[in-house]
């Protein structure tokens, strides 16, 4: 990590969105961030205040928002984690892009640098043809017919659904 103190997943997402907006338009604004994150501008302003205190962004009140050099380093790290996980999920595990993007977005905040480095190496080896995955395509998976396969078919985790229903009972 680039920083001693761990950033929350929310803060990392804000930095990632800010980076991507800056790449598209050279300038990011609160309203654009709010739209990209699906939150209201007041929420964005409150989070930006914390990111500014952490010296990760510069925010001109009612104006543009830019990443500091530390903010840029963190944002590029988050994006690298996302891209690596997405590539592993699509290129190695064969998931569709939509599923891979959703899963990678959740996973990018929890995976260690060592794990990302290994994932990136695995993807590189597969893409270079040094690891043959064809044997996996027709081999039975150890959990065929099990709970996880049922959940995959249904498109929802039954264990999670059961826990949620118990919590709200």
Q: Are 70 and 15 in contact (CB under 8 A)?
A: no
- Tens digits of per-residue pLDDT, 93-106? 889 999 999 999 99
Mean pLDDT of the chain: 85
pTM: 0.77
- Reported as a pLDDT band with limits 50, 70 and 90, residue 26 is confident
Question: In the chain, pLDDT over 70 holds for what percent of residues?
Answer: 76
Average pLDDT estimate for 122-140: 80
- DSSP-assigned beta bridge partners for residue 28: 65
Q: What angle do CA 10, 13, 18 make, to 5 degrees?
A: 130
Over 90: is that where the pLDDT of 161 sits? no
Domains of the chain with bracketed CATH: 9-74 (1.10.10.10), 141-169 (no CATH)
- Reported as a pLDDT band with limits 50, 70 and 90, residue 148 is low
The span from the CA of 87 to the CA of 26, in Å, is: 27
Over 70: is that where the pLDDT of 146 sits? no
Q: Which helix (H) or strand (E) holds 118?
A: helix 113-127
- Reported as a pLDDT band with limits 50, 70 and 90, residue 168 is low
- Tens digits of per-residue pLDDT, 41-77? 999 999 999 999 999 999 987 789 999 999 999 999 9
Over 80: is that where the pLDDT of 155 sits? no
Over 50: is that where the pLDDT of 14 sits? yes
């Amino acid at each position: 990590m680039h920083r001693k103190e761990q950033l929350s997943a929310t803060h990392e997402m804000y930095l990632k969105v800010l980076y991507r907006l800056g790449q598209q338009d050279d300038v990011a604004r609160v309203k654009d961030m709010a739209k990209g994150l699906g939150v209201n501008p007041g929420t964005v302003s409150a989070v930006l205040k914390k990111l500014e205190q952490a010296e990760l962004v510069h925010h001109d009140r009612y104006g543009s928002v830019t990443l500091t050099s530390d903010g840029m380093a963190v944002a590029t790290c988050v994006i690298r984690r996302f891209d690596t996980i997405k590539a592993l999920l699509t290129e190695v595990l064969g998931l569709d892009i939509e599923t891979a993007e959703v899963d990678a977005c959740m996973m990018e905040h929890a995976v260690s640098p060592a794990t990302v480095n290994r994932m990136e190496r695995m993807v590189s080896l597969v893409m270079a043809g040094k690891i043959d995955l064809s044997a996996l395509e027709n081999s039975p998976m150890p959990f065929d017919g099990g709970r996880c396969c049922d959940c995959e078919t249904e498109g929802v985790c039954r264990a999670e659904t059961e826990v949620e229903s118990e919590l709200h009972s």
